[in-house]
Amino acid sequence: MESQDIASAQMALEMLYKQQILEQEPIFESDSMQFINQSGFQYNQQNNFDIHNSKIYNSILIDHKYFTISETLSNYYGKYVRKIPKVPFKVLDAPQLQDDFYLNLIDWSNQNSLSVALNSCVYLWNAQSSKVTKLLDLHNDSVTSVAWSLRGPHLAVGTKTGEVQIWDAIKLQRVRTYKGHIARVGTLCFSDNVLSSGSRDKLILQRDLRLKGNYFLKQSAHKQEVCGLKWSPDGQMLASGGNDNKLYLWSSHKQDKPIFRLSEHQAAVKAIAWSPHQHGLLASGGGTADKTIRFWNALEGKSLQKEDTGSQVCNLMFSKIENELISTHGYSQNQIVLWRCSNMKRISTLVGHTCRVLYLAMSPDGSTIVTGAGDETLRFWNLYPQTNQDQKQPNGSLLIPTIR
């Protein structure tokens, strides 16, 4: 190649080295490389480095996988490698956030409101204004799970005594109370108007919020506590995980018994996630004695892949933006891991919690996740930095929303 081509390619490789190995931010100055949205990268006129120069862009020294990303991100990033911050941009104190693997105590609504259950109370944190509102206090009971409806302001609240309550987050009042379980309700999940609840009594109850009665269907398959429930994005299948180490798949068209029984995990299955990018792709994670993430073809009930994570898998969630998977873990690192689904390579590992990371939720735009742990903190992590424009809000507390 011509000497100018080699020099340009070497500059590009130097940038990659600084970003990927040294984890340095790119320098945005008039005499240095600039990132240009939708147009790749270019140097100033003095350096005369332009992505539209085919000789340079087609250089064998430039690995195009570092410069080309999917269309879903191009509007935010242009053509460069994103850098994921290693520290949370916000930390909220969450006193009495329970250190219990079988509970699900946080959820983030499509209206950008985060619900957090602290013992007998539920608080709402508005992500736009940072305002904290106390929704409820059960006094003689404790909250064991929360889940937002897919549309509207309704929050489902599961309790230690087995009740499921529906609350209007705008009017701050209870709409309805459901009976049916005789033990704590540790997991809740919506699919349109249907609310599914899983309990320590080993049962799954299905409720239609438009109908009268406590439930319209009782499903029994697990031999121990039901600790994970997730509906597929199209609402056609329900995955349930239990403390009996089993993962069951239920069809919305044949609900009397599961269509598949998956027994490969060696510990409790709480972590369950459906891919929004590939129809029928399901991920599940096992507890302390298992430590694996497994991928399934849910349409056929077949195992696809297994990844040993080395620690308890507490939560799984697919990215809304990229074909990536987020997992949170317990002993010994209490870490959050971002995986590339195509090859299960770790993109980033985030640490900071001092207890196992039991709770996970994602912002409506998919740019941010929040994690909760028994260290009584909520930590906000920016996985897609260019999509999140509001990172300057102060830290604070859910009970006393002031600057620390």
Asked if the model's pLDDT at residue 381 lies above 60, the reply is yes
**How confident is the model over 275-292, as a mean pLDDT?**
96
Q: Reduced to 3 states, what is the DSSP secondary structure of residue 352?
A: coil
Asked if the model's pLDDT at residue 249 lies above 50, the reply is yes
CA 379/CA 372 separation, integer angstroms: 7
Percentage of the chain surpassing pLDDT 70? Answer: 76
**How confident is the model over 375-396, as a mean pLDDT?**
75
Residues with Cβ < 8 Å from 87, sequence gap 6 or more? 352
> 155: closest CA among 170, 145, 168, 171?
168
Q: Give residue 79's pLDDT.
A: 44
Sign of the four-CA dihedral 125, 126, 131, 136:
negative
CA 102/CA 88 separation, integer angstroms: 25
Q: Give residue 73's pLDDT.
A: 44
Residue 31 maps to a domain: no
Q: How confident is the model at residue 396 (pLDDT cuts 50, 70, 90)?
A: low
> 372: closest CA among 181, 106, 3, 158?
106
Q: Which residue has the tokens 């005499």?
A: 31
**How confident is the model over 38-62, as a mean pLDDT?**
36
Q: Give residue 2's pLDDT.
A: 59
Q: Give residue 96's pLDDT.
A: 94
Of 106 and 401, more confident: 106
Residue 209 maps to a domain: yes
Q: Which two tokens stand for residue 283?
A: 């991920």
Residue 214 maps to a domain: yes
Asked if the model's pLDDT at residue 255 lies above 90, the reply is no
Asked if the model's pLDDT at residue 264 lies above 50, the reply is yes
CA 97/CA 90 separation, integer angstroms: 17
Give the pLDDT confidence of 312-323 residue by residue, as tens digits.
999 999 999 999
Give the pLDDT confidence of 206-245 residue by residue, as tens digits.
999 999 999 999 999 999 999 999 999 999 999 999 999 9
Residues with Cβ < 8 Å from 129, sequence gap 6 or more? none
Q: Give residue 47's pLDDT.
A: 38
Task: Report long-range pairs for 108-111 (Cβ below 8 Å, ≥24 apart).
Answer: 108/148, 108/361, 108/362, 108/363, 108/364, 108/370, 109/148, 109/153, 109/155, 109/169, 109/364, 110/148, 110/150, 110/151, 110/364, 111/153, 111/169, 111/364
- Would you say 273 and 258 are in contact if contact means Cβ atoms under 8 Å apart? no
Residue 147 maps to a domain: yes
Q: Give residue 379's pLDDT.
A: 98
Tell me what the pLDDT averaged over the chain comes to: 84
Q: Give residue 332's pLDDT.
A: 83
Residue 224 maps to a domain: yes
Indicate which CATH number applies to the domain containing 337. Answer: 2.130.10.10
Any idea which of 68-77, 246-255, 349-358 has the lowest mean pLDDT?
68-77
Residue 17 maps to a domain: no
**In Å, what is the CA distance from 16 to each residue of 23, 49, 78, 238?**
9, 16, 15, 43
Q: Looking at the 3D structure of the chain, how many domains does it have? A: 1
Residue 10 maps to a domain: no
Q: Which residue has the tokens 């430590």?
A: 291
Q: Give residue 39's pLDDT.
A: 31
Give the pLDDT confidence of 290-313 residue by residue, as tens digits.
999 999 999 999 999 999 999 999
Q: What is the pTM of this model?
A: 0.78
Asked if the model's pLDDT at residue 394 lies above 60, the reply is no
Residue 327 maps to a domain: yes
For 146, the enclosing helix (H) or strand (E) is strand 143-148
Q: Which two tokens stand for residue 314?
A: 């507490």
Q: How confident is the model at residue 254 (pLDDT cuts 50, 70, 90)?
A: confident
Q: Reduced to 3 states, what is the DSSP secondary structure of residue 30?
A: coil
> 38: closest CA among 73, 13, 62, 64?
73
Asked if the model's pLDDT at residue 57 lies above 80, the reply is no
Q: Give residue 316's pLDDT.
A: 98
CA 20/CA 347 separation, integer angstroms: 10
**How confident is the model over 89-116, as a mean pLDDT?**
97
Percentage of the chain surpassing pLDDT 90? Answer: 72
Residue 1 CB neighbours (<10 A): 13
Q: Give residue 127's pLDDT.
A: 93
Of 23 and 258, more confident: 258
Domain extent, residue 144, equals 90-382
Amino acid type, 279? H
